[in-house]
Structures are given as C-alpha cells and as structure tokens.
C-alpha cells in the first residue's frame, strides 16, 4: 500500500495536533512514520486523502482512537529488563518495606502499560515478596492511552512471545493453560486495576484516577516518543504523584538525569533508579490531598507564648478612622502551610485556630493531617474523631479516618468509614465541591472511595 500524499502544511498541522493532544513527537525524520500511520487510519475509515482525515481527527471520537492505536507501540513482555526487576526485589522493595512498616501498604503504577505484561509482572513480584498472609495491602495500577491495549490487558491471556524472560516455574505458578495460550490466575489479576490516562495531559496526579501517593512508578520506553518540553512536564507530574521516598523506574533509552533533577539518583547493577527524597512534601500547593498519609519525621510545636508583632497605635488625621480589616483566619493559613509541607508553621497556625474556635471541625481535621505526617497514628485518629463529634456530616473526617484504618489493616472499621462517607456524599449533587477537599467534587470522591473499597474486596 502506497502512503497518501502529505504536504508540508498538512505535516505541520498533524504534527502539532499529535504533539498537543498526545505529546507524541514526529520530527522531520519521523515524517514517513506519521504518514504511514495516518494512511492506515484513512483507509480503515474510508478517507481518500489526509486533509479530510485531519478534519475528522480534530473532532475526536472513534477515528481519534483509531489513530492512537496506529501511533502507539504495544511491544512488551513479562519481566522485561531483568536488571530492573532485580533492582526492584533487592533495592526498592527492602527500602519501602522499612519505610512503610507502619502503614503496611504499597501502591504501584505502571504508566504506559500496553497490554498489561508490566503491571502483572509487578503484581507477581509483590506476590513473591509479600505473600497474602503477610498482612500488607498491595495494589497495582496499569494505565495506557490506547483503549485496545487496555482491553487486552484486562483479558490477561497471553501467547508464548510474552514469556521470553519468564521462567517455566513462574509461568506454571501464575498462569493456567487455555487454548494454546496462557491466562493469568485470578489472585494476581485482582490486585491490578486498569485506567486510561494520557501522560502528556495534566489529568494526574489526581484522586479520581488513583494516581496520588504512589510508592513505585514504572514509566519505561514511553518518554522517548515525547519532545523535551513534554518530557519535562511529565517528569514533574510523576514526581508529584510519588509519596516521599517513592521510586521512579524509567527505560534505559529515556532522557538523562538532567530531566529528573528533583529526584535522588541511585545506581543499581545494570540500571539507574530515581527516588523522591524522603523529606520532600507529598503535595504541592496546586495539588493538595486532604487525607493520604505523609511520612517524614517532625514534631508538633507548642503554641507561641508571645505575639510575633507588636501593634503601634498611630493618631489618624481624620476624625473617623477607616474600619480595620478583620484579622486573618489562622485556619486558612494553616491549610496553605500544610499543603506546602511547612509543618512547623502549620502546627503553630492550627494551634492558634483551635484556641480561637475550638469547636471547628475543619481545624481538628487539619490537626489530624499533621499528626498523620509525623506518624502519630492514635493522635491523628483522635483528631479526626473530634472533627466528626463536632460535625457528624463532615465527609472528609469520615474519609480520612477510613483511610487510616485501611492502612492499619483494620478492614472492618475502614469499610464502615467508607460507607459512612458514601452515605453523606449521596446527599450531595455530583458537582458539589466537598468542604475541606481542596476543590474535589462529590462524584470524584465517590469514585475514589469506590476504588478503595474495591481494593478491600467490596
């Protein structure tokens, strides 16, 4: 089949469309690749020239998905790049098991998972390292842009070519033969969830798609298809998606360490790893989350005993002075300090807020967040309970305490808290912004809670 003509102007238009929507980079030396893929899409959908195809692509829909299928590569296999899986077993997991011993919970993300071999390889590695009776909660998220890949991943049936770095013992342990192919066993499939995410977009990290507070992110052989500006933006978002002390694993052909300067670089046999500093704040001001735990040591500070600034009264030239603005609300400032990871300042401000208004549910909620950050689990739970005593309809208090129970392995209590939060959310319109959720809507929180309950087997 001969490729359809692609003139310079149309090349520029298609190149910019693919870069802006997908982050895919087609410089001049890849022009023929783009022309061939677009020709295939055109023939599949009855177009005889690429100008008409371009117009249809702008509108999106099924033809846009068809273009994605032709432009993305799904070539992968189980345990690809054995050096990185060895580093996962011998370097990353021992570090995380020590860090997360209190929470006993691990969250993995395979970004650009194609047909699912990578996230399932992560799940099998976790099953080897932490058997079910260990008491650890584990989840793996697999995401890709290509809906066809995701459907194949959910089916979890693979041919011989996917096992070219898999031992016979692993295949017999984790798979069952089925019609000349192999189906992954249900106990592994249950630990992996799949979602469609465009890594070039700003849709992550977010509660709604489960991409916050990750412990490990595998993003291999994806960034090579992006231009440098997109790569830098993706690197920033992946950094934000990791919990402090979390790990990023990229492909050997990916950009050098200058792109990942926010991370600590860790050398391992046959590979280079990137680690988010353990003392990094979990959230930036622009991407706060009100209830996922933070893990860096600190201690609450006592309330300052003297004001920071003295007030000097100055005679006014006018007989009637202008009214003074109301004093700033320390709770608002405490939120900002908490989201920025300024725990010393946040502690000072929340203590002030509770002296001024001790019966304010939101203030006890923020204090609970701070206690979580410093690892004071009992104090955090007590603070969240106080917020619910003051306001039994406080959604975020229910959700925060449910999350803590889940991480502590108290499954019955966690389910009870999640269900209470859902009952409260059912009383709200879907688009309602939930108080103290940093702008999260009721429908988004429902989706988050349902994803957590699914991990609990509900």
**Closest to 195 measured CA to CA, from 186, 207, 183:** 207
% of the chain residues with pLDDT over 90: 36
- Looking at the fold, whether 271 and 351 belong to one and the same domain comes out as no
Which CATH number covers residue 259?
Answer: 3.40.50.150
**323 lies in some domain:** no
Give me the pLDDT at residue 314, please.
38
Taking only the tens place, the pLDDT of each residue in 200-230 is 988 888 877 888 889 999 999 888 888 888 9
Query: Is the pLDDT at 125 greater than 90, yes or no?
Result: yes
- Looking at the fold, whether 108 and 52 belong to one and the same domain comes out as no
Indicate the residue among 275, 291, 314 that finishes a domain.
Answer: 275
Give me the pLDDT at residue 138, please.
85
Q: How many domains does the chain have?
A: 3
Identify the top-confidence range among 170-174, 324-328, 436-440: 170-174
**301 lies in some domain:** no
- Looking at the fold, whether 134 and 227 belong to one and the same domain comes out as yes
- Looking at the fold, whether 113 and 262 belong to one and the same domain comes out as yes
The Cα 426–Cα 4 span in angstroms is 53
**302 lies in some domain:** no
**76 lies in some domain:** no
Residue with tokens 């009776």: 133
- Looking at the fold, whether 92 and 226 belong to one and the same domain comes out as yes
Give me the pLDDT at residue 144, please.
92
Which CATH number covers residue 52?
Answer: 1.10.155
Give me the pLDDT at residue 39, please.
93
Taking only the tens place, the pLDDT of each residue in 137-153 is 888 999 998 888 999 99
Exposure letters 186-212 (e unless 16+ CB within 10 A, then b): eebbebbbbbebebbeeebbbbbbbbb
Sheet holding 271-275, edge to edge: 192-196, 137-144, 105-111, 214-219, 242-250, 271-275, 264-268
- Looking at the fold, whether 100 and 168 belong to one and the same domain comes out as yes
**41 lies in some domain:** yes
In a 3-state reduction of DSSP, which class is residue 178?
Answer: strand
Indicate the residue among 52, 71, 90 that finishes a domain.
Answer: 71
The answer to whether residues 154 and 146 touch, using CB atoms and an 8 Å cutoff, is no
Whole-prediction pTM value? 0.62
Which CATH number covers residue 359?
Answer: 1.25.40.10
Range of the domain at 369: 330-455
The Cα 204–Cα 232 span in angstroms is 14
Vertex 260: Cα angle to 73 and 119 (nearest 5): 40
pLDDT averaged over the chain?
82
Taking only the tens place, the pLDDT of each residue in 352-409 is 888 887 888 888 998 888 887 766 788 888 899 889 888 889 999 999 888 888 877 7
- Looking at the fold, whether 222 and 88 belong to one and the same domain comes out as yes
Give me the pLDDT at residue 322, please.
46
Give me the pLDDT at residue 275, please.
95
Give me the pLDDT at residue 116, please.
94
- Looking at the fold, whether 237 and 256 belong to one and the same domain comes out as yes
- Looking at the fold, whether 172 and 62 belong to one and the same domain comes out as no
Give me the pLDDT at residue 396, please.
92
Least confident of 82-91, 119-128, 247-256, 279-288: 279-288
The Cα 377–Cα 404 span in angstroms is 8
Query: Is the pLDDT at 282 greater than 70, yes or no?
Result: no
């Amino acid at each position: 089949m001969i490729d359809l003509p692609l003139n310079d102007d149309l090349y520029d238009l298609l190149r910019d469309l693919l870069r802006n929507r997908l982050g895919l980079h087609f410089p001049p030396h890849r022009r023929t690749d783009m022309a061939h893929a677009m020709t295939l899409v055109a023939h599949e959908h009855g177009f005889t020239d690429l100008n008409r195809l371009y117009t249809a692509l702008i509108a999106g829909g099924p033809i846009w998905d068809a273009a994605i299928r032709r432009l993305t590569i799904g070539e992968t296999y189980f345990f690809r790049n054995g050096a990185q899986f060895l580093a996962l077993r011998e370097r990353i997991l021992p570090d995380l098991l020590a860090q997360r011993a209190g929470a006993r919970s691990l969250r993995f993300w395979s970004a650009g998972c194609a047909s699912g071999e990578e996230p399932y390889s992560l799940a099998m590695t976790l099953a080897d390292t932490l058997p079910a009776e260990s008491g650890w909660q584990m989840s793996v998220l697999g995401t890709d842009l290509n809906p066809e890949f995701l459907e194949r991943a959910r089916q979890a049936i693979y041919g011989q070519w996917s096992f070219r770095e898999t031992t016979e013992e692993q295949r017999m342990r984790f798979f069952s033969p089925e019609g000349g192919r192999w189906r992954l066993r249900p106990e592994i499939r249950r630990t992996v969830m799949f979602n469609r995410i465009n890594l070039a977009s700003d849709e992550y990290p977010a509660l709604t798609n489960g991409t916050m507070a990750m412990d490990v992110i595998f993003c291999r052989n994806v960034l090579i298809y992006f231009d440098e500006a997109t790569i830098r933006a993706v690197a920033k978002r992946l950094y934000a998606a990791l919990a402090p002390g979390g790990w990023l694993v990229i492909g050997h052909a990916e950009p050098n360490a200058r792109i990942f300067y926010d991370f600590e670089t860790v050398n391992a046999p046959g590979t280079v790893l990137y680690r988010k500093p353990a003392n990094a704040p979990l959230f930036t001001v622009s991407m706060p989350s009100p209830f996922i735990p933070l893990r860096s040591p600190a201690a609450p500070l006592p309330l300052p005993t003297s004001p920071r600034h003295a007030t000097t009264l100055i005679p006014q030239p006018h007989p009637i002075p202008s009214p003074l603005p109301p004093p700033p609300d320390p709770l608002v400032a405490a939120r900002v300090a908490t989201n920025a990871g300024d725990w010393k300042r946040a502690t000072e401000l929340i203590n002030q807020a509770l002296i001024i208004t001790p019966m304010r549910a939101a203030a006890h909620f923020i204090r609970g967040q701070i206690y979580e950050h410093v690892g004071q689990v009992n104090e955090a739970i007590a603070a969240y309970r106080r917020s619910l005593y003051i306001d039994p309809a406080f959604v975020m208090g229910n959700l925060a305490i449910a999350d803590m129970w889940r991480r502590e392995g108290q499954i019955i209590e966690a389910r009870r808290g999640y269900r209470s939060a859902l009952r409260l959310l059912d009383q709200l319109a879907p688009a309602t912004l939930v108080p103290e959720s940093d702008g999260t809507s009721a429908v988004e929180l429902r989706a988050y809670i349902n994803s957590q309950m699914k991990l609990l087997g509900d």
